[in-house]
Amino acid sequence: MRYSIEGEPLPVVICELEAGEGMKCENGAMGWMSPNMVMETKGGGFGKMLGRAFSGESIFLNYYTAQNGPGMIAYPSCMPGSIRAYEIGPGKEIIAQKKAFLAATMGVELSVHFQKKLGAGFFGGEGFIMERLSGQGMAFLEFDGYIKEYNLQPGQQIVVDTGYTAAMDASVNMEIRSVGGVKNALLGGEGFFNTVLTGPGRVWIQSMPVAKLADSIRPFMPSGH
């Protein structure tokens, strides 16, 4: 499989498949494709379907296979932002925010990832439930705005405002901490909690989470009557 990512700030990943090769994606993620791409919708087993339903995702994925020759399929982003490619393999698992998964080759496994500490779910913005990508293959994730990558050394930390954590290596530890002080929380404009990411591993931080974007344009929207 060959691919190219084109067109930021509204990017699309275009995948060129050999005969018999296939990809999986979320419902509605396909933008356009060659006519020999054949689709099949699958649930992936009761446990995975239950986990996806619990996380608020669709319980089904669409599988596309190139038949009778090479094929092409394109997956556009849903929002202005970035599409990143990740090579998934043993020791190369990725934890990503909900809704980040766009598409992947057949060998990549998508599962629900629960934060170890409940505080991360109730207060962290990134959510108690995230997505874990494992197995073997290439995966494509979409994020909001510009993406900045940091490679944290063992014990090295970075403090991230709520909602800005896009993805991280599975080796990175995520912890939710109070900003400290009632005055800081109420008057600082940064909320009550921050996310602390501790290495080793790579982290990807997005510049404009969709929730922040919605908040920024809400004052300019006409009010209902």
Q: What is the value of pTM for the model shown?
A: 0.82
CB proximity list for 139: less than 8 A, separation 6 or greater = 85, 86, 88, 94, 101, 103, 104, 105, 108, 133
C-alpha distances (whole Å) from 202 to each of 23, 83, 157 are: 25, 16, 11
Q: What pLDDT, on the 0 to 100 scale, is given for residue 58?
A: 61
Classify each residue of 14-45 as buried b or exposed e, where b means 16 or more C-beta atoms within 10 Å of its C-beta. Answer: bbebeeebbbbbbeebbeebeeebeeeeeebe
Place of tokens 């929207």: 221
Q: Could you tell me what percentage of the chain is helix, strand and coil, using 3-state DSSP and rounding each to the nearest 5?
A: 15, 50, 40
CB atoms within 10 A of CB 49: 17
**Tell me, what's the pLDDT at 150?**
98
Rg (CA), the chain: 19
Q: Write down the domain spans for the chain.
A: 2-220
Exposed (0-12), middle (13-18) or buried (19+): which is 188, by Cβ within 10 Å?
exposed
Q: Positive or negative CA dihedral for 22, 28, 31, 36?
A: positive
Name the CATH architecture for the domain at 2-220.
4-Layer Sandwich (3.60)
Strand, helix or coil for residue 28: coil
Q: How confident is the model at residue 48, as a pLDDT?
A: 53
Phi, psi of 17 (to 5 degrees): -110, 145
From first to last of its 225 residues, the chain has per-residue pLDDT tens of 999 999 988 999 999 999 999 999 988 999 999 999 999 998 654 445 445 444 455 668 999 999 999 999 999 998 889 999 999 999 999 999 988 999 999 999 998 887 655 454 444 444 467 899 999 999 999 999 999 999 999 999 999 987 899 999 999 999 887 766 444 444 444 456 788 999 999 999 999 876 665 555 667 667 654
Report the C-alpha gap between 87 and 93 in whole angstroms: 9
